[in-house]
Amino acid sequence: TSRDHARRKANQPGAPCLSRANALREEREVFARTLLVTMLGAMQSAQRVFCTTIDGSNTTMYSDVLSWGHGPRLFEVFLEPTCPFSVKAFFKLDELLAQAGEDKITVKIRLQSQPWHMFSGVIVRCILAAATLEGGKESAKAVMTAVASHREEFEFEHHASGPNMDATPNDIIARIERYSGLALADAFANPELEHTVKWHAK
């Protein structure tokens, strides 16, 4: 490993003798470079979804990360789009970012689908479909805002009854498109989107 190489270099017979401090410094530099490469790779894999099509060809679908701000302090919030408590938290995120400062904090939304919100899976997929559109995360945010602003129209009474019992997934997609002003059906139907949905579920 890189650390073993640094130790051997420090103790190699006949080689210039490195002080222990220099050896440790070299180890730290190697470790820092390795960590940076690993982090960059993780960031890229989180932003891009790769899959293999039925005919065996490799394709790529870009799904924008739901992240705002660029500060060193990371604030991750796990939201269910139709949960009333998540909606309250969602509407406070812009204020949090404004008060804390975009250079001080990074806010990341993780979509945590809750099965007792009966259309949660469809709505989460709509949000992530929006993240693949030209507007990226801002399109996804527009969908979340549309759903949050009309939350009861996407819910069931007592999670088990009400008018939405007769609604279909296509009805929900069309409703979100109407409120958000975005065309989502094609991106929603893209099978590659499943990878991003599963990433959020994990």
Size of the chain, expressed as the number of residues it contains? 202
Beta strands in the chain (DSSP E): 48-52, 58-62, 67-68, 73-79, 105-111
How many domains, the chain?
Answer: 2
- Collect the ranges in the chain with pLDDT lower than 50: 40, 44-59
Tell me, what's the pLDDT at 138? 98
Tell me, what's the pLDDT at 7? 54
CA distance 12 to 163: 77
- Asked if residue 148 and residue 76 are part of one domain, the reply reads yes
- Asked if residue 93 and residue 32 are part of one domain, the reply reads no
> Would the pTM count as exceeding 0.85?
no
Domain containing 136 equals 67-201
Give the CATH number, domain containing residue 92.
3.40.30.10
Q: Write out pLDDT tens, residues 14-73.
A: 555 556 777 677 777 766 666 655 554 555 444 444 443 333 434 467 889 999 999 999
Which residues, in sequence order, are CB contacts of 83 under 8 Å at separation 6+? Answer: 114, 117
- Asked if residue 72 and residue 45 are part of one domain, the reply reads no
